[in-house]
Structure formats: C-alpha cells, structure tokens
Amino acid sequence: MFGFALYWGGLRLFSFFLGGSIGALLGLIIAYVANLEGTASLIFIVVGLFIGALLGWRFIRTLQRVIVFLIGLALGFLLGQIVLPSLDQVWASSFGALVASTLVGGLLAVLLFRYIIIFVTAAVGSYLLYQASGQTWVMGLSFLIGLVVQIGAFHALGLDKKIRKKGNHA
C-alpha cells in the first residue's frame, strides 16, 4: 500500500548505511596510518561514519536522478522511433524531432518520477497479491486501491507542495 514510502525510506537507509560504512572504514584507515589509539581513533571512525552517511545520501540521490533521466531519454528515443515514422514522411527522417522526443522523455521522467514509482510499486504489489491468491480480480482491485492510497497519502502529507516549493525532483 505504501510502496513509495518504502522505496524512499529503503533508499535512504541503504545510502546512509553504504556511505557510513565507507566513511567509518576510511576513518579507521586514517587512524591506523596515523598510529592513533583509543579515543582519538574512535573519533576519526565516528566522524568518518557521519560524513560518509551524508555523502552517501547525496551520492545515491544524484545517481538516482541521473539514472531516471537516462531511462527517460531511452524511453523517449524508443517512443520517437515508433511514433514519428507513422506521423508523416517529413517527421520520419527528422533527426531534430527524434532528439526532441528523446529530451522530452528524459525531462518527463525526472518531473514525474514520484508518480512513476507510485505506479510501479502499486503494480508490483498487486501482482504479488495475484500470485498469492490466484484471482485476477484481486490484482485489479489491489492495484486501484494501491494507487489511490499512495497518491492520497502523497498529497495528504503535503509532499507534492514540498517538492514544488523546494524545486527538488528526486
């Protein structure tokens, strides 16, 4: 039901853990190389852990945005390859139209990313419920309920307003 929240929370936990682990390891290496013992080495490890956790979160968010944009570019390109030839002969050979459809796909993926995640998590969750029950109607009903609940929670919590105010799209 709350696939977006699970995705976003899981991404944060993963990035904090990964960055913190790398930071703590680097702090341990620095303490070892500097021949520090006791409290001084512990301070380096803890500081490395916190700095690594923050840098890990920034890195994963940036990587996520780049990947989403690249996937949108690919989907825009594929859609352009399918749709443009069917429009007219002028558009079929136009490189500019293909580039435009590719860029539009990338921008739409970045702008609609949260809704895409909500849609995908609702679809995956409903498919899992279908696999468990074997009833097709369960899949359709759970998909609709999942979409309504997630989008409703997204708007009820004011996340859409926070995103627009911040200008943050991932």
Instruction: For residue range 11-52, list pLDDT tens digits in order.
Output: 889 999 999 999 999 999 999 998 888 888 899 999 999 999
| Number of folded domains that form the chain | 1
Distances 4 to 20, 39, 106, 117, 146 between C-alpha atoms, Å: 24, 41, 21, 6, 10
Residue that wins the pLDDT comparison between 21 and 117: 21
168 Rama class: left (phi>0) / alpha (psi -120 to 50) / beta: beta
Write the CB contacts of 47 (distance below 8 Å, at least 6 apart in sequence). Answer: 27
For residue 95, the tally of other CB atoms under 10 A from its CB is 7
Output the pLDDT for position 170.
47
Residue that wins the pLDDT comparison between 67 and 154: 67
Q: Which domain holds residue 143?
A: 3-166
User: 3-class DSSP state for residue 94?
Assistant: coil
**Which structure tokens are listed for 74?**
């690919």
Host H or E run for residue 45: helix 39-87
pLDDT averaged over the chain? 84
Residue linked to tokens 């139209």? 97
Question: Do 46 and 20 touch, CB atoms closer than 8 A?
Answer: no
d(CA 21, CA 95): 47
**pTM for this structure?**
0.69
Give CA 129 to chain center in angstroms. Answer: 23
Maximum CA pair distance of the chain? 75
**Which structure tokens are listed for 104?**
């539009």
| AA identity, residue 15 | S
142-143-149-153 Cα dihedral, nearest 10 degrees: 140
